[in-house]
Structure 1
Amino acid sequence: MNHPAPARPPRRRAALLTAALLAALAATPAQAAPTAPDPSRADIYRALELDREPADYVILVDTSGSMTEEGRYDTVRTTLRPFLDGLTPEDHVALFTFDSRTEARYVGAAGDTSKIIAALPGAPDPDGDTDIGAALDAALEEVERDDASPVASVVLLTDGEHRPAARSRYPKATGPAWDALTTRAEAVAGHTELAGYAIPLGGGATGAGLLADVVPDTTVLRPEGIQDLGAYLARAGERTRARKAARLLAPDTGKGVTATWHGGGALDLGDGTAAGKLTLRAATTRAPLTVTGLRATLTGPDLTVSGLPRTLTLRPGESRTYDVRVRGRLSAGALPYRRTEETRATLHLAGTVTSPWQRPLAPDVRLKTPETIRTRDAELTVRADVGSAAFLPGVIGAVLAVLVAGWLLWRRGNRPPLRGVLLLATPFGGPLPERIELRGRRMALRPVSTGGRGTVHGRRRSTREGPRTDLRIRFSPDGTAGRESGADCAPGGEVVVGGVSFSYLGEPGPAPAPGHPR
């Protein structure tokens, strides 16, 4: 029965499928189940458009005489059909049979399974030997082509040991010829994802393991019976598809989520809040990424950042920008007066980055994603008005009060209490001297006998005999303020100020005789 090749899925359909899968994963917790199921491998392969990625398959089928036993050859022909049906038209198939000699039965594109199966002989060669070395030589020639695919698989199905004909280049299972095969395989593996799948048929010893001696990345699949061949062929095909996916996802290794803060100027907290923008971007090109437990903070001062979802899923290369709100205040420090303060703050983002594709692809594909978010432009300038607007005037008032109080104290200390008697008279005769009893620290002078006005206060002096109190006398004969004359007078002394004679008696005593001011 002819099975038509599967139609190539259009890119638009694959893109819509990817978008639908990611939309379900990115739904908010209120819209989705608490734990969204992971996509299946088939979903991921469709999203990757894996059918468009070519691979080389070299299939080596033993047609020696022993393959007639237990219907092994017929089983191989039957079970190859579903294996070939799983390939895509982009894949390249080289089908070889080997016994005493190796013969290419089909070399070309996959997709027409019936045509490939029909190329096989109807039965094994009953007299054929088993030359595995020659079969591997033919397989390497296929994967050494200039137009070979970047992913290649060699599938070996045999029930016998390596027993070639006498003329074979590989008379034994070891030797220089086998070493040359290994060297060629290593060269191919240097630029191609080359893997081998050896499937020994029958219960006895076979030479299937020789494939691992030539191709290091070989898996020996050991079915318990020929009836298990279909499952093991399917496993070989699945592993090849996984290697395709791994190759496509290799550029995403080490790529995660980056966060960028927007705004070149200072972040002005104003009344304790400020608006900002934060962009999260998936750096991958094919794999979606999910962030759980997302939280942002600013430190140095400690500020909170709100407006981010706790969980989000980003498509490959997708960016999402969020309007966030920063809350907090700057400390006024030891200087609490009102001023504008600027400081540096560091942006931190917490959250675990994974991909919803990691679990379905494991262990065949290891999608390594950095679990932490990489933050760009993490250093920010934060500005705010700090301190109290009433503090500075209060401080100035307090300082002035202290100064005034200090001045008053100084004045009080420098203006001792007045004691004794002050005599006022005209210098050239006239009425009897006017006697003024000194008291307090400062006295106003308004003499009746001479007229005019003035003031008098004491001043402490240091002398050899010890401290004494002098008088500072200021007087204006016409009483005009601001035009007073001044002079200092020691105890027992006499000065003339504004045309009036002032005599200072240190202690109260009798008034002098007329004409004698002292």
Structure 2
Amino acid sequence: MNHTAPARSLRRCAALLTAALLAALPAAPAQAAPAAPDPTRAEIYRALQLEQEPADYAILVDTSGSMTREGRYDTVRATLRPFLDGLTPEDHVALFTFDSRTEARYVGPAGDTSKIIAALPAAPTKDGDTDIGAALDAALKEVARDDASPVASVVLLTDGEHRPAAHSRYPQASGPAWDALTKRAKAVAGRTELAGYAIPLGGGATGAGLLANVVPDTTVLRPDGIQDLGAYLARAGDRTRARKAARLLAPDIGKGVTATWQDGETPDLGDGSATKKLTLRSATAHVPLTVTGLRATVTGPDLTVGGLPGRLALEPGESKTYTLRLHGRLSGGALPYRRTENATATFHLAGEVTSSWQRPLAPDIRLRTPAAIRVQRTDLPLRADVGSAFFLPALAAGLLVLVLAGWLIWRRVNRPPLRGVLLLATPFGGPLPERIELRGRRMALRPASAGGRGTVHGRRRSTREGPRTDLRIRFSPDGTAARESGAVCAPGAEVVVSGVSFTYLDGPGPAPAPAPGWPG
């Protein structure tokens, strides 16, 4: 019996079931990408194309007789090679040896280390003196030339004190000649970034520190032994490169990120949302910038703002534009009638601006970057159609209802229903009184017996006996003065208006011959 097919089917079912279970499991949360490590100084220098920035190096090598001890001169020749290899063809090298006299061995561009080293003498001058003053004089002349680079370094390597020959212009370690050297160095430093690096090679006292008396910005590098010379020369080269980088980066100090609204229509929040484009720009020429904790808010109208990343990286001079999403509504006010409302919100942008170059370049270069983003225009104009189109018609209808209700109330109070009888009699014993049945709320009077015309309506009054209805009667023989001629008649009383007597009976009264009346 073949059991292969059932076994294959079972394995297929198991595989399908496993896949279904795995698909049903919740996905693991995505891990945030780790922040990129800070670049090295070498990477920063390459980004700055530092090799294209020239620097001047005046290198002073002691070739006095004492340099034969412990192989010091041979060590200098050997360790100068890696130092010179670290320079670029754009750099300018002036290599001097000094003993009883100072001699220029090589003056020209860097780049050919073997040629420069070959220019050094094979050995020191056996009976040579040590004239550091004359060596510094030659170095200052070199870095003060008209075509000198904007960054200059004087590197002094000596193992002895200043003990010049008798004919030297610098017979002592101080004096007027040294003061003149210091004054010249100050003039050079006024137009060039001048620094000195003094490296004493002997274990005892040397005159290396004299360089600091002439060039204030001098670092005295004190190796523990001649074998450390290579590291200290490399340090001098590194500091010179740092000064070249600092000169390039100087215009970026204090530059940060700016935020600018793009021109366009005013955002319309009619449907509760709108968009507005915001451009973030790096103001630096060389330094990359990073913004963390980026968040936008507004004050004024109650709105929320979205559309910005939490973290933003900007290359030098780079701009990035984002579409901000505004959510919220403008208030319709106490009277929500349909209209276009304009408002101005105050825009706030939070975020910390830093650079990945700050830590690698410190402490030689302090990249002071504004930590906050500079918003060029904080006001944000907004508009929206607010209120209801039905509000004004509804308000008008409501007012009409109120007026009608008021009129009805007034009519009920001031125009009560008429009842009873009004007797009208002409003077001087005329015909029998004319009887007018009162009805409605206002009646027109056109008596046949007296002629003329008028009106009568009721007026409600409050008395001690209770409410009663008086009559307001207006009448004139020709009808022209009916409004001006009139009187109020209480129930059971008689009044005369325009020579006609009116008696108000608040009941059926006597029954004389009926006369016509005209209800109004």
Name the TM tier (shorter chain).
0.7 to 0.9
Q: Which residue of 2 aligns with 1:166?
A: 166
Instruction: Give the Å deviation of 1:303.
Output: 2.5
After superposition, the Cα gap between the structure-2 partners of 1:103 and 1:327, relative to the gap in structure 1 and judged at 3 Å, is: same
Q: Which residue of 1 aligns with 2:352?
A: 352
User: 1:289 & 1:468 partners in 2: Cα distance?
Assistant: 93
8 Å contact kept, 1:263–1:276 = no
Summarize deviations over 1:413-434 as a string: whole Å, max 9, x none: 3235656532479999999854
Uncovered stretches (5+) of structure 1, i.e. residues with no partner:
1-28, 475-484
8 Å contact kept, 2:424–2:503 = no
Query: Mean alpha-carbon deviation: is it higher for 81-90 or for 503-512?
Result: 503-512
8 Å contact kept, 1:418–1:458 = yes
Partner SS state of residue 267, structure 1: coil
Matching of residue 504 in structure 1 with residue 503 in structure 2 = yes
Q: Which residue of 1 aligns with 2:296?
A: 296
8 Å contact kept, 1:254–1:370 = yes
| Amino acid aligned to 1:470 | L
Q: Which residue of 1 aligns with 2:471?
A: 470
Q: Which residue of 1 aligns with 2:320?
A: 320
User: 2:241 & 2:488 partners in 1: Cα distance?
Assistant: 119
Partner SS state of residue 126, structure 1: coil
After superposition, the Cα gap between the structure-2 partners of 1:225 and 1:406, relative to the gap in structure 1 and judged at 3 Å, is: same
Partner SS state of residue 191, structure 2: coil
8 Å contact kept, 2:106–2:119 = yes
| Amino acid aligned to 2:386 | V
Instruction: Give the Å deviation of 1:83.
Output: 0.5
Summarize deviations over 1:306-332 as a string: whole Å, max 9, x none: 212111211211111222221121122
Q: Which residue of 2 aligns with 1:282?
A: 282
8 Å contact kept, 2:96–2:102 = yes
8 Å contact kept, 1:261–1:378 = no
User: 1:179 & 1:248 partners in 2: Cα distance?
Assistant: 32
Q: Which residue of 2 aligns with 1:234?
A: 234
TM-score, length basis structure 1: 0.81
Q: Which residue of 1 aligns with 2:36?
A: 36
After superposition, the Cα gap between the structure-2 partners of 1:472 and 1:266, relative to the gap in structure 1 and judged at 3 Å, is: farther
| Amino acid aligned to 1:140 | L
- Aligned counterparts, 1:315-464, within 5 A: 315-416=315-416, 418=418, 420-423=420-423, 433-434=434-435, 436=437, 442=441, 456-459=456-459
User: 1:126 & 1:231 partners in 2: Cα distance?
Assistant: 28
Matching of residue 207 in structure 1 with residue 207 in structure 2 = yes
User: 2:363 & 2:514 partners in 1: Cα distance?
Assistant: 131
Q: Which residue of 2 aligns with 1:54?
A: 54
| Amino acid aligned to 1:469 | D
User: 1:93 & 1:31 partners in 2: Cα distance?
Assistant: 53
Partner SS state of residue 184, structure 2: helix
8 Å contact kept, 1:489–1:504 = no
Matching of residue 45 in structure 1 with residue 45 in structure 2 = yes
Instruction: Give the Å deviation of 1:74.
Output: 1.1
8 Å contact kept, 1:258–1:373 = yes
| Amino acid aligned to 2:240 | T
User: 2:41 & 2:30 partners in 1: Cα distance?
Assistant: 27
User: 2:514 & 2:193 partners in 1: Cα distance?
Assistant: 137
User: 1:469 & 1:424 partners in 2: Cα distance?
Assistant: 16
After superposition, the Cα gap between the structure-2 partners of 1:435 and 1:54, relative to the gap in structure 1 and judged at 3 Å, is: closer
Q: Which residue of 1 aligns with 2:26?
A: none
After superposition, the Cα gap between the structure-2 partners of 1:514 and 1:93, relative to the gap in structure 1 and judged at 3 Å, is: closer
Summarize deviations over 1:431-453 as a string: whole Å, max 9, x none: 985463x58x8267999x99xxx
User: 1:129 & 1:331 partners in 2: Cα distance?
Assistant: 92
User: 1:356 & 1:85 partners in 2: Cα distance?
Assistant: 28
Q: Percent identity?
A: 72
Summarize deviations over 1:320-363 as a string: whole Å, max 9, x none: 12222211211223333332111222222111111221111111
Query: Mean alpha-carbon deviation: is it higher for 144-153 or for 368-377?
Result: 368-377
- Aligned counterparts, 1:213-228, within 5 A: 213-228=213-228
User: 1:514 & 1:397 partners in 2: Cα distance?
Assistant: 50
| Amino acid aligned to 2:78 | T
Partner SS state of residue 134, structure 2: helix
Summarize deviations over 1:359-401 as a string: whole Å, max 9, x none: 1111111222211111223323211122333433333333333
After superposition, the Cα gap between the structure-2 partners of 1:170 and 1:135, relative to the gap in structure 1 and judged at 3 Å, is: same
Instruction: Give the Å deviation of 1:509.
Output: 7.1
Q: Which residue of 2 aligns with 1:121?
A: 121
Q: Which residue of 2 aligns with 1:14?
A: none
8 Å contact kept, 2:415–2:442 = no
User: 1:376 & 1:244 partners in 2: Cα distance?
Assistant: 33
User: 1:263 & 1:473 partners in 2: Cα distance?
Assistant: 75
8 Å contact kept, 1:262–1:278 = yes
8 Å contact kept, 2:435–2:512 = no
Uncovered stretches (5+) of structure 2, i.e. residues with no partner:
1-28, 463-467, 476-481
8 Å contact kept, 2:294–2:352 = yes
8 Å contact kept, 2:458–2:469 = no
| Amino acid aligned to 1:172 | Q
Query: Mean alpha-carbon deviation: is it higher for 30-39 or for 104-113?
Result: 30-39
